[in-house]
Chain A
Amino acid sequence: MAGSAGDTVIAPGAPTEPPSAPAPAAGGLAIRVRDLRKHYGELEAVRGIDLDVRSGEIFGLIGPDGAGKTSTFQILAGVMPESSGQVSIFGQTPLEARATVGYLTQTFSLYVDLSVAENVRYIGELRRLSLDEIRERGDRYLEMFDMLQFRDRLAGRLSGGMKQKLALVCALIARPQVLLLDEPTTGVDPVSRREFWDALAELSGTGMTIVVATPYLDEAERCSRLALMHEGRLHDTGTPAEVRQRPRLRRIRVRTGNLEAAEHILEGIDGVRDTQRFGDSLDVMVDDTAGGESIASEALAREGVTFTALKPEAPTLENAFVAVLRSIGGEIVVPAFPFDSTRDPVERGAVAIGAYGMRKSFGSFEAVRDVTVEVRHGEVYGLLGANGAGKTTTIKMLCGLLEPTSGDVELTGERGSLRSGAVRSRIGYMSQKFSLYDDLTIIQNLRFFAGVYGVPRDERERRISWVLEASGLEGREQLMTASLPGGWKQRVAFGASLMHAPSVLFLDEPTSGVDPLARRALWKMINAMADRGVAVLVTTHYLEEAEQCNRLGFMAAGEVVAEGSPTEMKAMMRGRLFEIIVDNARVATLALREALGHDRVSQFGDRVHVQSELPVADATSEIRALLDRARVEVLRIEETTFSLEDVFIDVVHRSRDAAVAEAS
């Protein structure tokens, strides 16, 4: 059985070994699912899905936590029986097909007390490979992922990104025909994430069928086809382009100094289907571009709100998913905050959180060096950084949990005694990972938090009932918290962190893993707080969250290396970004990389992104010439805007280069 898996030689340039079994024809059906259902007692996790995955494609199953993705994957991998329905993988049942399927589980399934090589060997032996095969393939994949030098390191001592790559090596060792990846990039920073997706593109180029589950829409863009999963059902299936175009809505981006007012004006007027606020812009969804532009500009002018730009942009996947979720009735209305948002009056624009020349050393290791950050009342500030960039240490110092080695920290006007009761009572904290006690009911959780935060007794019931209303849980407060879907839980947790009316909020990845509507609802709540003068500091490495911040700080190697609004950050990028649509994205990517450099070219499903510093005309002719030589037909080339991820990766690379230059 072991040798029958389709050969997948993925080292670029390496000669392809002849497959030991006839490889399935590219484009044929790899996975066929009909009316698949899975229930756990009362709970129906998968409610009848139909799915066709073609051989050699990267298929994305996109959906929030609790949508049923993991259940579906466990069934596909043959590790869990389905309740009903048919699943076939190359004509076999999942149980029979186990030898040809590689499965990367959400928790990576690594043995943390075994070394990298021991992990690979164990999985290889379970899959009946010979020791020579294991050593040869293992080394090849480890080399491909730049991990060969860590062969003897314990898996538990690897960084998140490296753990994920090791798990991928283990999943690949038996050369599966189908690779199932369940949220492979959770907890992985953007740089490692892009490398990981580049590796997936290479694997898919060799004919491997890849199914990946993710809650992140920017990853959905890199799939050849995708399906939206929500509450156990699939809603929209197609290529990213098809899905984006399907709602037939046009997007107009408005830039103005007064987002709060602009949103208020444009929300709900005739001809505007939807509005969505970001950190420094507002998206307005309309039926047609020209009509929409005039409606929006007239409405703003009528109310005397000035705007710096108002221009149509291509709709995003998020727009499409929001439209789908709305059509199935997932809209969430958040009521206004009923009590004074802050206990003490705050002055908008005054510094709420300030760090000046802050440093922290652990022994000889400098975790944070010379960080200066100011977050003002009424501002949403995002702190981004790769794993190990010093984000967590910085936050701990800013909220007074850790004493800086040197430098000043100011919190709500206080310096020095940041742990005093007075300061603490003005701070709210919410983390995606830990907030509520799962084994208490919702009301018990809220009473507990009202108690520990010292909410005045006569106010408690009113504030608790607001949190219940805001999270849409009135009358259901006796439910166990564990039984709530992710998005609901986050709104309750957020409400709980607001009950004592703090004037400074620390949020740690507040909306990771929830669906777009739930994310919007929560950001509406966050923005409402900021509009009332609360200072909000968000830490995240999800760029969808970063887009929501007014200002961003990028950390690398213990320093804040770039700061500005999302638009300013994107404008900092040197050169331009081109999106090229070709008939063979795989060949195009390899050819362009060889000529222009690895970092400048990324494959996004059927498209290729190329970064160039040449003027538009020169760049396009260079790209065309290169692709012509590689015999790839160019269907379209157009300039596109950098994403925050591009910026982030660029910033990290530059700071690494600078460190290398400094060292030499």
Chain B
Amino acid sequence: MKRILAQARKELAQVRRDRLVLFLALVLPQILLALFGTALSLTVTDVPIVIQDLDQTALSRAYSDAWRQTLTFRVVELGSDSQPIDALDRGDARAAIIIPENFERDAIRGVPAEIQILVDATDANTANVLRGNAFGVTANFARSQRSGAAPAIRPETRLWYNPGRDSKRFVGPGAFAVMFALFPPLLAALALSREGEQKTILQVYASSISAHEYLIGKTVAFWLVAVAQWMIGVAVLRFMFGIWFVADPTPLLVGTVAYLFCCVAFGVMVGAAIPNQAAAIQLVQIVGFLLSFLLSGLIFPISNIPAALRWIALFVPARYYIELSRDAFVRGAGWPAMWHVPIVLSVIGLVFFAVAWKRMRRMQVSA
């Protein structure tokens, strides 16, 4: 126990001493979190579109006005001699609405009036959103024209949990989780691989401290650093994102203890296996961060991942913590929905730790 504390105290002294590490530990994560929250917006607004009105009637003009009234779209003028497809090609517009001749006549006769909507689908996600919105605009317009006759089924949609569809409420808690998949393991991996690289590990080997004491000491130190990061991160969420706990915070608190352990243990494992700081950084970044970014449901729903790869997501700790933090900050379902998360995270963390221990247990130079 004494040696564990000695080890942890030494690590913390080194963190405190090294300004670069201190910056990496406390400031950079918050910058990243802020950047994520502001730059990574999934809300689609102000999309430029062109309308080619070949009908030039009262109804076609009313339909065009319906597009102008949305917040999502911004109608840009189509030059008199250019075709809608040119505007798409040039990138002036992301979608083109073409109202054919006889639009009003068909509508009055009760014949289904047709319009054509061309959507630039280079960015498939945005294209989907645009398509959905375009249907909405057109359906609303059609309903407004046909007053009286009520449709057989009228869906009434309410947006639950995040009624304003504020993407900060979606991205914020997610980025918050991913941040811990990067920085605490990075610090822990650096601290271990540095000892191998600078050969200070020999002095540790020579001292008969056991592998678990050494590793627990390191883990405790960087877990504490991670807790400090977490607390600052919560403050950033509160003041930059305006997000706060919506219900009982205990699932998040308990899950955080497990998640931070899991993240640090991952770094400890990498650092114990690779006595080279540059390589350790790369591994943490690529495996830890990229997987957490892509396979955790931060942006893309896990159900969208091809089934052949989806199982990997089961082992990505950030995926569980994202669920947990979204629940704590947005949904608020609490323990009944989240009871499994701390358990799963602890198990994954213990596996990482066990691998590190297996690697170090002899406390000798491997050759």
**Contact A109 B200, CB 8 Å, known A114-B10, A122-B6:** yes
Q: A362: which B residues are within 8 A, CB to CB?
A: none
Q: B5: which A residues are within 8 A, CB to CB?
A: 125
Nearest Cβ on chain B to A485's Cβ, whole angstroms: 19
Residue on B nearest A81 in the bound complex, by CB: B364
Q: B209: which A residues are within 8 A, CB to CB?
A: 126
Q: How far is the CA of A114 from the CA of B208 in the complex (A)?
A: 21
A113 and B206 contact, CB distance less than 8 A: no
Q: B200: which A residues are within 8 A, CB to CB?
A: 107, 109-111
| Chain B: interface residue total (CB-CB under 8 A) | 27
24 A-B Cβ contacts within 8 A?
A1-B208, A78-B206, A79-B202, A79-B206, A80-B365, A81-B364, A99-B208, A106-B199, A109-B198, A109-B199, A109-B200, A109-B203, A110-B200, A111-B14, A111-B200, A113-B18, A114-B10, A114-B13, A123-B203, A123-B207, A126-B6, A126-B7, A127-B207, A170-B203
Nearest Cβ on chain A to B250's Cβ, whole angstroms: 36
A49 at the interface (CB under 8 A from B): no
Contact of B2 among A102, A106, A125 (CB under 8 A): A125
Q: A121: which B residues are within 8 A, CB to CB?
A: 6
A128 and B2 contact, CB distance less than 8 A: yes
Q: B363: which A residues are within 8 A, CB to CB?
A: 79
B365 and A79 contact, CB distance less than 8 A: yes
A365 at the interface (CB under 8 A from B): no
Q: How far is the CA of A664 from the CA of B49 in the complex (A)?
A: 87
Contact pattern, B 198-223, Cβ under 8 Å of A = 1, otherwise 0: 11101111111100000000000000
Nearest Cβ on chain B to A368's Cβ, whole angstroms: 32
Nearest Cβ on chain B to A165's Cβ, whole angstroms: 15
Q: A74: which B residues are within 8 A, CB to CB?
A: 202, 365
**Contact A154 B364, CB 8 Å, known A79-B205, A111-B200:** no
Q: How far is the CA of A122 from the CA of B3 in the complex (A)?
A: 9
B199 and A105 contact, CB distance less than 8 A: yes
Q: How far is the CA of A290 from the CA of B112 in the complex (A)?
A: 128
B17 at the interface (CB under 8 A from A): yes
B6 and A98 contact, CB distance less than 8 A: no
Q: How far is the CA of A101 from the CA of B207 in the complex (A)?
A: 9
Nearest Cβ on chain B to A220's Cβ, whole angstroms: 24
Nearest Cβ on chain A to B108's Cβ, whole angstroms: 81
Q: Tell me the residues in window 55-93 of chain A with beta carbons closer than 8 Å to chain B beta carbons.
A: 74, 77-81
Contact of B367 among A80, A103, A154 (CB under 8 A): A80
Listed residue (B2, B10, B362) with the most chain A CB atoms within 10 angstroms of its CB: B10
Q: A110: which B residues are within 8 A, CB to CB?
A: 200
Q: How many A-B residue pairs have CB under 8 A?
A: 83
B367 and A40 contact, CB distance less than 8 A: yes
User: What residues make up the interface of A, taking CB atoms closer than 8 Å to B?
Assistant: 1, 38, 40, 74, 77-81, 95, 98-99, 101-103, 105-107, 109-114, 118, 121-123, 125-128, 154, 170
Q: Tell me the residues in window 17-43 of chain B with beta carbons closer than 8 Å to chain A beta carbons.
A: 17-18
**Contact A105 B207, CB 8 Å, known A113-B17, A113-B18:** no
Contact of A125 among B6, B18, B205, B208 (CB under 8 A): B6
Q: How far is the CA of A101 from the CA of B205 in the complex (A)?
A: 12
Q: B203: which A residues are within 8 A, CB to CB?
A: 103, 105, 109, 123, 126, 170
**Contact A107 B365, CB 8 Å, known A98-B207, A126-B3:** no
Nearest Cβ on chain A to B277's Cβ, whole angstroms: 14
Q: How far is the CA of A170 from the CA of B203 in the complex (A)?
A: 9
Q: How far is the CA of A562 from the CA of B350 in the complex (A)?
A: 66
**Contact A78 B364, CB 8 Å, known A101-B206, A125-B6, A126-B207:** yes
A81 and B362 contact, CB distance less than 8 A: yes
Residue on A nearest B367 in the bound complex, by CB: A40
Q: How far is the CA of A154 from the CA of B204 in the complex (A)?
A: 19
Nearest Cβ on chain B to A74's Cβ, whole angstroms: 6
Residue on B nearest A99 in the bound complex, by CB: B208
Q: How far is the CA of A284 from the CA of B364 in the complex (A)?
A: 48
Q: How far is the CA of A99 from the CA of B205 in the complex (A)?
A: 11
Q: B13: which A residues are within 8 A, CB to CB?
A: 114, 118
B208 and A98 contact, CB distance less than 8 A: yes
Listed residue (B3, B17, B199, B363) with the most chain A CB atoms within 10 angstroms of its CB: B17
Nearest Cβ on chain B to A491's Cβ, whole angstroms: 28
Q: B199: which A residues are within 8 A, CB to CB?
A: 105-107, 109
Nearest Cβ on chain B to A177's Cβ, whole angstroms: 14
Q: A95: which B residues are within 8 A, CB to CB?
A: 364
Q: How far is the CA of A126 from the CA of B213 in the complex (A)?
A: 10
Q: A128: which B residues are within 8 A, CB to CB?
A: 2-3
Q: How far is the CA of A110 from the CA of B13 in the complex (A)?
A: 14
A-B pairs, 6 with minimum CB distance:
A125-B6, A109-B203, A79-B205, A126-B207, A80-B365, A98-B208
**Contact A111 B10, CB 8 Å, known A78-B364, A126-B209:** yes
Q: How far is the CA of A101 from the CA of B17 in the complex (A)?
A: 30
**Contact A114 B14, CB 8 Å, known A79-B364, A107-B199, A125-B2:** yes
Nearest Cβ on chain B to A482's Cβ, whole angstroms: 16
Listed residue (B203, B204, B208, B209) with the most chain A CB atoms within 10 angstroms of its CB: B203
Listed residue (B3, B6, B208) with the most chain A CB atoms within 10 angstroms of its CB: B208
B206 and A103 contact, CB distance less than 8 A: yes
Q: How far is the CA of A74 from the CA of B6 in the complex (A)?
A: 24
Q: How far is the CA of A125 from the CA of B1 in the complex (A)?
A: 11
Q: How far is the CA of A40 from the CA of B2 in the complex (A)?
A: 36
Residue on B nearest A110 in the bound complex, by CB: B200
Nearest Cβ on chain A to B259's Cβ, whole angstroms: 29
Q: B18: which A residues are within 8 A, CB to CB?
A: 113
Listed residue (A112, A125, A127) with the most chain B CB atoms within 10 angstroms of its CB: A125
Q: Tell me the residues in window 290-315 of chain B with beta carbons closer than 8 Å to chain A beta carbons.
A: none
Residue on A nearest B209 in the bound complex, by CB: A126
A122 and B202 contact, CB distance less than 8 A: no
Q: B9: which A residues are within 8 A, CB to CB?
A: 122
Q: A79: which B residues are within 8 A, CB to CB?
A: 202, 205-206, 363-365
Nearest Cβ on chain A to B203's Cβ, whole angstroms: 4
Nearest Cβ on chain B to A468's Cβ, whole angstroms: 32
Q: A102: which B residues are within 8 A, CB to CB?
A: 206
B364 and A107 contact, CB distance less than 8 A: no
Q: How far is the CA of A128 from the CA of B209 in the complex (A)?
A: 9
Nearest Cβ on chain A to B10's Cβ, whole angstroms: 4
Q: How far is the CA of A127 from the CA of B209 in the complex (A)?
A: 7
B10 and A98 contact, CB distance less than 8 A: no
A77 and B206 contact, CB distance less than 8 A: yes
List 9 other contacts, CB 8 Å, given A113-B18, A122-B6, A126-B203.
A1-B208, A79-B205, A80-B365, A81-B367, A114-B13, A123-B203, A125-B3, A126-B204, A127-B208
Contact pattern, B 177-214, Cβ under 8 Å of A = 1, otherwise 0: 00000000000000000000011101111111100000
Nearest Cβ on chain B to A69's Cβ, whole angstroms: 14
Q: A170: which B residues are within 8 A, CB to CB?
A: 203
Q: How far is the CA of A118 from the CA of B14 in the complex (A)?
A: 10
Q: How far is the CA of A128 from the CA of B1 in the complex (A)?
A: 10
Q: How far is the CA of A114 from the CA of B194 in the complex (A)?
A: 14
Nearest Cβ on chain A to B217's Cβ, whole angstroms: 10
Q: How far is the CA of A268 from the CA of B182 in the complex (A)?
A: 70
Nearest Cβ on chain A to B5's Cβ, whole angstroms: 8
A114 and B362 contact, CB distance less than 8 A: no
Q: How far is the CA of A101 from the CA of B367 in the complex (A)?
A: 22
Q: How far is the CA of A38 from the CA of B364 in the complex (A)?
A: 14
Nearest Cβ on chain B to A505's Cβ, whole angstroms: 33
